């Protein structure tokens, strides 16, 4: 399997805060890479560096062999790298379909309007919003808006999808459904890089996991390896036997 996204030595500093430090990892074609870590570890900043919201101070981002380091967000989108936002940002006064047409029109394939509408419909159906096609985005529930974020990104027919906490704020039934959707997307050939706090979900979905702490990579490996890593347990997961150990001492 080839590397689709290669991140090398990425660093970003905000004033005195070193948000991301010399981070390297890669996403291989057709896989899901999970990005986890405590709050403030720099996960969303990594996304912002990848798709050009911020330019990195150091390091390089290569996507399908092309150097996309520091390109403006709209140029990154054209390369086939789509993203959902942690805090949903729908075009509130547009319908669900129109929201997705924007994604399809200006994404990787740069489709003309009529064909963009077809791509948008497909994406809406994939996330299960087809019965709300003509509803205004502002009328959707939070779960609906999260699915719209996903549909809008998918409508662009990306090669790589960055998912920033798409499961946060959903109830167990909705989470189940969203996990199914994410699997379907991966099976359709789109690679995924996802940030998630919900351990059970990310452990079962990811092919590999990268753990961030204070902006630096703490561990990387298969989900089971990472979950058993004492450093990860100490920094993020917490030790389930911690209370017993205290009692013993």
Does 93 help bind other proteins (rule: CB under 8 A)? yes
Q: Alpha-carbon distance 13 to 43, whole Å? A: 14
In this structure, the number of other CB atoms found within 10 A of the CB of residue 63 comes to: 23
Measured from the CB atom, the residue of 110 and 204 that comes closer to other proteins is 110
Measured from the CB atom, the residue of 111 and 210 that comes closer to other proteins is 111
Residue-by-residue DSSP string for 92-131 = TTSBHHHHHHHHHHHSTT---HHHHHHHHHHHHHHTT-GG
Does 121 help bind other proteins (rule: CB under 8 A)? no
Does 215 help bind other proteins (rule: CB under 8 A)? no
Measured from the CB atom, the residue of 113 and 243 that comes closer to other proteins is 113
Q: Which of 35, 68, 27 is closest to 51 using CA atoms? A: 68
Pair 73, 52: CB distance under 8 Å: yes
Among 156, 166, 211, 226, binds other proteins (CB under 8 A): 156
Tokens of 113: 């309007």
Contact string 56-75 vs other proteins (x = CB under 8 A): ----------------xxx-
Does 142 help bind other proteins (rule: CB under 8 A)? no
Does 54 help bind other proteins (rule: CB under 8 A)? no
Pair 150, 174: CB distance under 8 Å: no
Using the 8-state DSSP alphabet, how is residue 233 labeled?
I
Does 102 help bind other proteins (rule: CB under 8 A)? yes
Among 78, 177, 183, 197, binds other proteins (CB under 8 A): 78
In this structure, the number of other CB atoms found within 10 A of the CB of residue 88 comes to: 17
Q: Alpha-carbon distance 128 to 247, whole Å? A: 50
Does 89 help bind other proteins (rule: CB under 8 A)? yes
Does 51 help bind other proteins (rule: CB under 8 A)? yes
Minimum Å gap between C-beta 105 and other proteins is 5
Contact string 185-204 vs other proteins (x = CB under 8 A): --------------------
Q: Alpha-carbon distance 20 to 9, whole Å? A: 9
For other proteins, the binding residues (CB under 8 A) are: 51, 53, 72-74, 77-78, 82-83, 85, 89-94, 98, 101-103, 105-108, 110, 112-113, 116, 152-153, 156
């Amino acid at each position: 399997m080839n590397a689709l996204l290669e991140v090398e030595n990425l660093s970003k500093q905000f004033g005195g805060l070193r948000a991301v430090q010399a981070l390297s990892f890669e996403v291989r074609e057709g896989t899901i890479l999970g990005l986890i870590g405590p709050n403030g570890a720099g996960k969303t900043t990594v996304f912002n560096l990848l798709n050009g919201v911020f330019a990195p101070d150091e390091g390089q981002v290569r996507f399908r062999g092309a150097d996309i380091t520091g390109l403006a967000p709209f140029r990154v989108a054209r390369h086939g790298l789509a993203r959902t936002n942690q805090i949903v940002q729908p075009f509130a006064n547009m319908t669900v379909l129109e929201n997705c047409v924007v994604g399809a029109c200006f994404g990787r394939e740069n489709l003309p309007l009529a064909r963009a509408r077809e791509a948008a419909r497909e994406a809406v159906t994939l996330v299960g919003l087809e019965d709300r096609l003509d509803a205004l985005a502002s009328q959707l529930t939070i779960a609906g808006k999260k699915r719209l974020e996903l549909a809008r990104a998918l409508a662009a027919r990306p090669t790589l999808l960055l998912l920033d906490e798409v499961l946060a704020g959903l109830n167990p039934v909705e989470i189940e459904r969203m996990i199914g959707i994410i699997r379907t997307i991966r099976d359709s050939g789109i690679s995924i890089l996802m940030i998630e706090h919900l351990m059970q979900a990310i452990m079962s979905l990811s092919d590999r996991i990268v753990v961030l702490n204070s902006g630096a990579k703490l561990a990387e490996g298969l989900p089971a390896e990472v979950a058993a890593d004492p450093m990860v347990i100490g920094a993020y997961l917490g030790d389930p036997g911690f209370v017993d150990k205290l009692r013993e001492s």
